[in-house]
Amino acid sequence: EMLSAAQNGGDPDAARIESTKAALDAMLAGGGESAPGASQAEEEATAGSGGGWKIAFRPHPHLMQTGNDPVRIFRELAALGELEVRADLSEMPAFEDLDPEEIFIGWELELHTDAGLDQVQEVFEWVDGDCDLNIEPLETASGTAGQAGRSPERAEGTQAAASAQPAARKARAAGAESTSIRVGIDKIDALINMVGELVITQSMLGQVGKGEFEDFDLVAFERLRDGLANLERNTRELQESVMRIRMLPISFSFNRFPRLVHDLSQKLGKKVELKLTGEQTELDKTVLEKIGDPLVHLVRNSMDHGIEPPEERLAAGKPETGTLHLNAYHQGGNIVIEIADDGAGFNTEKIRAKAVERGLIAEDAELSEDEIADLIFQPGFSTADEISDVSGRGVGMDVVRRNIKDLGGSVEVSSRQGEGTTFTIRLPLTLAILDGQLVRVGREVYVIPLVSIVESLQIEARHLNSVAGQADVYKLRDEYLPIINLHELFGVEAHDGEFEEQLLVVVEGAGGRVGLVVDDLLSQQQVVIKSLESNFKRVEGLSGATILGDGTVALIVDIAGLIELGRRQPGSGRLHLVKDNAA
């Protein structure tokens, strides 16, 4: 009646307005009676209608690394009503101990809204398990008289319903925390060093057990051999277990890219769909930390120079939305990361002209599309007409390759004009220990990573050929392999016997297959990688050194580095070989 009077221009009954208002105030204060048919479920769902919700939200330190952002959560809560935010800095560490990738702040939130518990919990759905969360009605948290107006049973039921799911979340979080422990990286590094020394000890005892001491009692000797077998097994199990401590999924690095791609696509005016696969592929924490910046640079490069604006894509018959695909997977003892886009690809004619202009290649040089694309990794090389603050002018691509090589890895690029570009990064799973094949070259012993070896065979002179009178190749099952003579490469005293007495070890790296000429194959064993650069200096073609069981030092061969050396012109060193498998 009052509504009709107001709509028709009449004067509502003032006394009735006052009585209705008083009744509503009484209901809001808790004095009104509940409808007899109201269920407890309805009361739970509308618990916030009396004023809202009090939320205690403390993210776990790693929450930002999962791609979540507390600001986004606050923004969604503010859309439900009036939000008051108070920060809790009680767990903030000293400034010098701050980790920029972790979060140490908690928040006390008061949300004044009519939204139900389910709507509020939905906002925190993506951070479930990555935070400590407690949600309760404001009237319960503040102890207002409204709670006293209900019967004890109903009040207890409402509070239990509001707290049940937060309690379950806390229980799940506690369960997750009980299965993991945070360990200082310095302690893990010390443990890894101890495992390395254990590997060396096992290698030394292994030589004793091979019969270097002839006066051993036969029974005691057999016991020693059994003990050595157990030691070897235990050493490998311990080493693998310790390595797993350092292994982290590459999602810790991939999670930054959805936001990066979103922001860059807005800035560049492009439409880009990001696809991530293989996020659970694991690699060493040290490798993971150092590969982040090169990945960011390659993604920026693909966004800026690779994927075209929507109008250009439509004109080329492509969907207006470009695709950027990041993929990671294990291959042998390496991890492979691919950054692929379906953009315009490289303008090989422009790259070639720039390379000729800078004197990097001869004008009549015959290069494949991939070889031309590889020129972008030359220091300072760029075909960009103007400077871009997104990916620069190519100045950083040589730094990308150098940083990846410092990790013992390699990077290749494959591009097809009009179809897209793919960057392929290969990295070792760990930088501490590897399985190696010991080989003898003259009087020296070298270590070849076992994961790189395809096969080994006796050299037959009839399969040897020369290319242009300077590069040796070996015919193996209708394939011509470039040969690297380690005597010449490392300046070791030449072999005195016939060439046929030597062995050819076929290895495979990022640049293809080559054959390494050695004098003899020794044993296979795990070796502890020691840095050459920190103990001596950087040596091209070698990735490190190790200490053998007898105390001698053996150098570890860098297969990718050898293949890179082999691509150089004859005047660049002792190594002369061709890249293409053709005679």
Predicted local confidence at residue 526, as pLDDT: 82
Predicted local confidence at residue 144, as pLDDT: 45
Judging by DSSP bridges, how do beta strands 479-485 and 512-518 pair with one another?
parallel
Contact 441, 490 (CB under 8 A): yes
What is the mean pLDDT of the segment spanning 424-433?
82
Q: Give the lowest-confidence range in 106-115, 270-279, 345-354, 493-502.
A: 493-502
How much of the chain exceeds pLDDT 90, in percent?
A: 16
* pTM for this entry: 0.57
* Angle, in degrees to the nearest 10, between helices 218-246 and 185-207: 160
Distance in angstroms (rounded) separating the CA atoms of residues 355 and 382: 9
Tokens 């640079």 — which residue?
297
Predicted local confidence at residue 170, as pLDDT: 44
Distance in angstroms (rounded) separating the CA atoms of residues 186 and 289: 15
What is the mean pLDDT of the segment spanning 365-380?
81
What is the mean pLDDT of the segment spanning 82-98?
85
Contact 566, 482 (CB under 8 A): yes
Higher pLDDT, 385 or 157: 385
What is the mean pLDDT of the segment spanning 110-133?
86
Predicted local confidence at residue 106, as pLDDT: 92
Confidence of residue 157 (pLDDT cuts 50, 70, 90): very low
Exposed e or buried b for every residue in 144-174, given b needs 16+ CB within 10 A?
Answer: bebbebbeeeebeebbebbbeebeebeeebe
Confidence of residue 440 (pLDDT cuts 50, 70, 90): very high
Predicted local confidence at residue 337, as pLDDT: 95
- Distances in Å between the Cα of 555 and the Cα atoms of 436, 490, 560, 572 are 11, 11, 15, 22
Distance in angstroms (rounded) separating the CA atoms of residues 217 and 212: 13
* CATH class in words for 433-568: mainly beta
Contact 583, 475 (CB under 8 A): yes
What is the mean pLDDT of the segment spanning 432-451?
89
Contact 426, 409 (CB under 8 A): yes
Distance in angstroms (rounded) separating the CA atoms of residues 305 and 314: 17
Beta strands in 459-502 (DSSP E): 464-467, 471-476, 479-485
| For residue 424, pLDDT beyond 80 | yes
Predicted local confidence at residue 500, as pLDDT: 67
Predicted local confidence at residue 72, as pLDDT: 81
Higher pLDDT, 341 or 140: 341
| The CATH number of the domain covering residues in 249-383+394-428 | 3.30.565.10
pLDDT tens digits, residue range 61-82? 888 766 677 888 898 899 888 9
Predicted local confidence at residue 159, as pLDDT: 44
Task: Supply the DSSP symbol for 495.
Answer: P
Distance in angstroms (rounded) separating the CA atoms of residues 13 and 18: 9
| Residue-range domain boundaries for the chain | 52-137, 187-208+218-247, 249-383+394-428, 433-568
Predicted local confidence at residue 506, as pLDDT: 92
What is the mean pLDDT of the segment spanning 224-232?
79
What is the mean pLDDT of the segment spanning 6-26?
62
Distance in angstroms (rounded) separating the CA atoms of residues 463 and 473: 8
pLDDT tens digits, residue range 245-299? 778 889 888 988 998 898 889 889 999 999 999 998 988 888 888 898 899 999 9
Predicted local confidence at residue 49, as pLDDT: 46
| For residue 55, pLDDT beyond 90 | yes
Distance in angstroms (rounded) separating the CA atoms of residues 408 and 394: 23
- Which CATH number fits the domain 52-137, given the four candidates 1.20.1300, 2.30.29, 3.30.420, 3.30.70? 3.30.70
What is the mean pLDDT of the segment spanning 400-411?
85
Confidence of residue 214 (pLDDT cuts 50, 70, 90): low
Q: Do domains 249-383+394-428 and 433-568 have the same CATH topology?
A: no
Helix (H) or strand (E) holding 411: strand 410-416
Contact 527, 447 (CB under 8 A): yes
What is the mean pLDDT of the segment spanning 201-207?
71
SS3 (DSSP) at 453: strand
Nearest alpha-carbon partner for 58 in 98, 22, 91: 91
